[in-house]
Amino acid sequence: MSAAVFDTWVLLDALRGIPQAGAEIKRYAQRYVSRISWIEVLTHGLPDDGERIEGFLGHFTVVEISDEIARSAAQLRSQRRGLTLSNAIVLATAQTTGRILVTRNTNAFPAQMPGIRVPYEL
């Protein structure tokens, strides 16, 4: 596999040393993260661990929230009322860039949904 968008939970798991998360990230030559996940992950590390987390996030290409992603996220939320804004943005990021979304959040992203990869459960 060559390219994937990673959600917040997989990134946090990797930072916590969960082996399955680290192994999954290493499977991909091209690693992407939505700006919203970047913010969420960094928030978990501030103020004490921000430097380490920013270094970790430096291994990912950040996908900014474009007009196309914003429109797609709005459409996703209108179709799935329970979908949070941040999850809609993450999913829209993967879908509009043509990449799979690697997640363990099966509440928001069912494993059987096209374009979703759930590599492990905790």
Question: Is the separation of the CB atoms in 42 and 71 below 8 Å?
Answer: no
Question: What is the pLDDT, as a whole number, of residue 2?
Answer: 86
d(CA 100, CA 91): 9
Question: What is the pLDDT, as a whole number, of residue 46?
Answer: 81
Question: What is the pLDDT, as a whole number, of residue 45?
Answer: 82
Instruction: Report, at the CATH architecture level, how domain 3-112 is classified.
Output: 3-Layer(aba) Sandwich (3.40)
Give the start-to-end residue ranges of the domains of the chain. Answer: 3-112
Question: For each of the chain's 122 residues, which pLDDT tens digit applies?
Answer: 689 999 999 999 999 999 999 999 999 999 999 999 999 999 988 888 989 999 999 999 999 999 999 999 999 999 999 999 999 999 999 999 999 999 999 999 999 999 999 999 99
Burial of 17 (0-12, 13-18, 19+ CB in 10 A): exposed
Q: What is the number of other CB atoms lying within 10 angstroms of the CB of residue 72?
A: 19
